[in-house]
Amino acid sequence: MIYDVSHLTRYHYDAPVAVNVCVLRLLPRSGDGQRVLAAEVEVTPRPQTLVERADAFANRALNLRIESPHRELTLHSRARVVVERPSPPLAALTPAWEDVAGLAVSAASLDADSPAAAIYPSRVAPLFAAATDYARRSFPPRRPIYEGAAELARRIKADFAYDSRATEVTTSPIEAFAQRRGVCQDFAHVMIAGLRGLGLPALYVSGYIRTISPPGKPRLAGADASHAWTSVWCGPGFGWLGLDPTNAVAAGDDHIVVARGRDYSDVPPVEGLILSSGEHALEVEVDVIPV
């Protein structure tokens, strides 16, 4: 599949902003079964600095600095991406989960694809006993790791209600787990916490998922949204494989990866600081169009 992706973000400020310093993660990455043909971010007002770099997880990060006073900031990311993911592996052929845990804890590399950083608790994906116990039901002794992880994703889909009013971006997975409600960010964090509690490497993936309209209904511009799912390391022979607990599916050709990290705090679309005395309002529109 080839997609044109548009992600428009507008900040409206009550008072003039003197300085705006941000890091943007709005450009899709190549790899993970996809290839970026073209990508750019248009910033208004014009920034004094806009420099791209690769972060610790090989995500495309833009360092942005605006020093001219402004009351509105517009960030418009546009990209064309080819997605050609292979079918998920036969689950029974993946290694036993205990073997994967042992390989992960002994990993010597700290490069972007290493499982080493993905087995420990992180800032917004802490370990907690309830999630570990919940995940353990999907991992009896010697079960193939992908088989167990796929079942865990299906159980989260079945046991948790999607409710956009139940949580906020700052809600911890402990809270989301207790109320069995939340959104894709919460479900990804719950799955990550459960897997790491068993010593299994798991990363948070941010990106987009194509929305397919019901038969006879036109697709709506701006109706697609940012999405999040989980990537599980299945040993050196299989590497990182994506699972989407919100939809109980493997990450496939409808999923477009922007960034991955230990949890959401590693991959927010926009993070930084501003110098201003007022509040702000935020508008976001995302559109994913098959070409």
Helices (runs of H) and strands (runs of E) counted in the chain: 5, 15
d(CA 65, CA 150): 42
pLDDT at residue 145 tops 90: yes
Report pLDDT for 220. Answer: 56
Report pLDDT for 131. Answer: 98
Which one, of 255, 227, 231, lies nearest residue 241 by Cα?
Answer: 231
Report pLDDT for 171. Answer: 94
Looking at residues 209-219, what average pLDDT do you find?
A: 75
Which one, of 146, 118, 152, lies nearest residue 132 by Cα?
Answer: 152
pLDDT in tens, 51-104: 999 999 999 999 999 999 999 999 999 999 999 999 999 999 999 999 999 999
Report pLDDT for 217. Answer: 72
Looking at residues 204-222, what average pLDDT do you find?
A: 77
